[in-house]
């Protein structure tokens, strides 16, 4: 038998360990819902550095004043961090920098707990989450929490799917997340009319081309700011982080 929204809410509330979080969910569900308002278009290319795992990396993000950091909550990823570690890293961020939780086909209750327990600010769906999943998730999320849906791009049909998504924002990559391989950026440039975040194949050397080709709302990088040593998978290169941010801002000013 399918679980109703009311039953899901009851299960979620019971699962929350934090009393304040339980109160927040109850208050949210008792408030009439409205269609989410579209976020204002920023006056610069948004920068999201993804797969961060250490306090040192967070400190540099604060120094660089990026817009978002990605915290990977998918256990099969080499960039995975425990939710408790993500919670602590978020406490080190400047309030202006948002923590995005990257999840893959996670149960709804777990994703919602991440938000209400203060582990993340926004949610990035990187699996096979469909429109039903997105709609249900939105019912439980507080106002201001954005849902980003990632789409693997290999054909115009993938661009159409991204265009029709009800997510607050869409992210386009090659379908080989974290490998540094790009998709054909011309597909996004010629077919997609809604704002999007560009990912896949971005490095300090290639991000300028990605921006000028696609004119994205923002850019997302992970492997492109990591060390070249294959014995250190997922380890960030602080100098590459600096160069990437500088390249984005230099391109935006051209």
Report yes or no: 238 and 64 within 8 Å, Cβ to Cβ.
Answer: no
pTM: 0.85
The arithmetic mean of pLDDT across residues 154-177, rounded, is 90
Q: How many distinct structural domains can be found in the chain?
A: 1
Q: What is the largest CA-CA distance in the chain?
A: 57
- The full length of the chain comes to 254
CB of 89 closer than 8 Å to CB of 81: yes
- Whether the predicted pLDDT of 25 surpasses 90: no
> Is residue 27 a part of any domain in this protein?
no
Q: Percent of the chain at pLDDT above 70?
A: 80
CB contact burial 168-201 (16+ within 10 A = b; e otherwise): bbbbbbbeebbebebbebebbeeebeebbbbbbb
φ/ψ of 243, rounded to 5, equals -65, -35
Is residue 38 in a domain? no
pLDDT given for residue 8 in this prediction: 59
Q: Are 152 and 125 in contact (CB under 8 A)?
A: no
Residue 29 reports pLDDT greater than 60: no
Q: Which pair of structure tokens corresponds to residue 224?
A: 């492109």
Answer whether residue 249 is part of any domain. yes
In a domain, 189, yes or no: yes
Q: Is the pLDDT assigned to residue 46 strictly greater than 80?
A: yes
205 lies in some domain: yes
Residue 200 lies in a domain: yes
- Answer yes or no: are the C-beta atoms of 181 and 174 closer than 8 Å: yes
Tell me the β-bridge partners of 236.
Answer: 226
Tens-place pLDDT, residues 177-211: 555 678 889 888 888 889 999 998 899 999 999 99
**pLDDT tens digits, 53-102:** 999 999 999 999 999 999 999 999 999 999 999 999 999 999 999 999 99
pLDDT of 16 higher than 90: no
Answer whether residue 63 is part of any domain: yes
How far is the C-alpha of 137 from the C-alpha of 37, rounded, in Å? 16
The CATH number given to whatever domain includes residue 100 is 3.20.20.70
What's the token pair of residue 85? 């570690």
- Residue 254 confidence class, pLDDT cut points 50, 70, 90: low
- Average pLDDT across the chain, whole number: 87
For residue 163, what are the domain limits?
Answer: 44-253
Give the DSSP per-residue string, 171-202.
EEE-SSTTS-----HHHHHHH--S-EEEESS-
Q: Are 31 and 139 in contact (CB under 8 A)?
A: no
């Amino acid at each position: 038998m399918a679980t109703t929204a009311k039953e899901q809410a009851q299960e979620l509330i019971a699962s929350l360990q934090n009393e304040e979080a339980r109160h927040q969910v109850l208050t949210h569900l008792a408030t009439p819902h409205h269609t989410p308002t579209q976020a204002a278009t920023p006056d610069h290319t948004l920068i999201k550095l993804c797969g961060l795992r250490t306090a040192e990396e967070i400190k540099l993000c604060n120094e660089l004043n990026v817009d978002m950091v990605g915290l990977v909550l998918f256990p099969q990823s080499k960039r995975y961090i425990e939710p408790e570690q993500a919670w602590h890293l978020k406490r080190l961020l400047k309030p202006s920098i948002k923590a995005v939780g990257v999840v893959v086909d996670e149960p709804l209750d777990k994703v919602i707990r991440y938000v209400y327990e203060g582990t993340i600010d926004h949610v990035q769906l990187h699996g096979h989450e469909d429109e039903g999943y997105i709609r249900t998730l939105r019912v439980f999320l507080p106002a201001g929490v954005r849902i980003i849906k990632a789409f693997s791009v290999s054909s115009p049909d993938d661009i159409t799917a991204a265009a029709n998504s009800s997510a607050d924002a869409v992210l386009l990559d090659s379908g080989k997340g974290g490998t540094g391989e790009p998709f054909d950026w011309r597909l996004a440039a010629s077919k997609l009319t809604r704002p999007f975040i560009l990912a896949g194949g971005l490095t300090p050397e290639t991000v300028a081309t990605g921006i000028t080709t696609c004119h994205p709302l923002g850019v997302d990088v992970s492997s492109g700011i990591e060390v070249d040593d294959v014995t250190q998978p997922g380890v960030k290169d602080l100098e590459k982080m600096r160069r990437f941010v500088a390249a984005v801002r230099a391109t935006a000013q051209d």
